[in-house]
């Protein structure tokens, strides 16, 4: 597997996880909104993979410590953050 394919796979996995968070009504609205913002960055075709990841990380980082976040959502957000942190240009 090439580095490019690996990056594309990570982006797809992050998009799938974030979509799950957005569709989960047990997750507070502000957290779903931040996940939707991150998803918008990840789907932006004008940006490089590294910039997409950095923008999404900044969007998610703010809410990753939210005390109102359910544990399952926090775990998934940390999973996405860990994945995105490995993507570089």
pTM attached to this predicted model: 0.89
pLDDT at 3: 55
N-terminal to C-terminal alpha carbon distance within the chain: 17
pLDDT at 65: 86
Domains in the chain with CATH codes: 3-85 (1.20.1440.50)
Q: What is the mean pLDDT of each run of 10 residues along the chain (89 residues)?
A: 72 96 95 96 94 95 89 95 92
**What gap in Å lies between CA 67 and CA 56, rounded to an integer?**
20
pLDDT at 88: 87
pLDDT at 46: 96
pLDDT at 72: 94
């Amino acid at each position: 597997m090439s580095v490019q394919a690996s990056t594309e796979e990570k982006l797809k996995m992050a998009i799938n996880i974030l979509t799950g968070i957005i569709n989960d009504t047990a997750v507070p609205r502000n957290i779903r909104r931040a996940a939707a913002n991150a998803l918008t960055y990840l789907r932006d075709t004008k940006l490089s993979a590294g910039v997409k990841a950095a923008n999404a990380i900044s969007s998610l980082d703010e809410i990753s410590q939210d005390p109102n976040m359910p544990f399952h959502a926090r775990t998934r957000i940390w999973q996405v953050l860990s994945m995105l942190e490995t993507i570089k240009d």
